Structure 1
Amino acid sequence: MATTTLSSREFQQNANLAQRAAHTGPVIITNRGRPSHVLLTYDEYERLAGGKRSLVEALSMPGLADLEVEFPHLRDLARPADF
């Protein structure tokens, strides 16, 4: 994966170049020599963000078996209605 670095001026002048470069890896856009933004393809963004998952996929993620979650009992939540 190749990383491309463009100044904000270069990016503004040639956005097509940045889009093509994003297909081979992230494009770092700098402002006054410091990284300020990263351009990715949408597929790469979805991969990094986890994409869309079903509830079954989310609950079957590795490491979830080690979590301890306590759910309150319904009797602890219920109370008489105030009228």
Structure 2
Amino acid sequence: MPITTLSSHELSRHLGRARRAAKDGPVIITNWGKPAHVLMSFDEYKRLTGKKKTLGELLAYPGTEDVELPLPDCSELAKPIDMS
């Protein structure tokens, strides 16, 4: 994934170039030589900010009714103790 860097002045003059570059990777926009903003595709933004699904949500999807989820036997987790 290539990273493109443009100054804010270059961005204002070459917005189309920046938009095309953002399809392939992030575009770092600088102010006075320092990174200030990042331009990216909306798909990449959604990927980065998307909410992670819980196990329950994933198992609620259609077609997952027959999914077997191997769970450890409770005896593997706890051992009986002698209370005498």
User: Which TM-score band (shorter chain)?
Assistant: 0.5 to 0.7
Gaps in structure 1 of 5+ consecutive residues: 62-83
What does residue 4 of structure 2 align with? Answer: 4
Larger Rg: 2
TM-score by length of 1: 0.63
- For 2:55, which of 57, 60, 81 is the aligned residue? 60
Superposition deviation, residue 50 in structure 1:
1.2
RMSD: 1.7
- SS, match of residue 35 in structure 1: strand
Q: TM-score, normalised by structure 2?
A: 0.62
% identical aligned pairs: 52
Q: Give the alignment of 1:17-32 within 5 angstroms.
A: 17-32=17-32
Stretches (4+) displaced over 2 A: none
Q: Greater helix percent: which structure?
A: 1
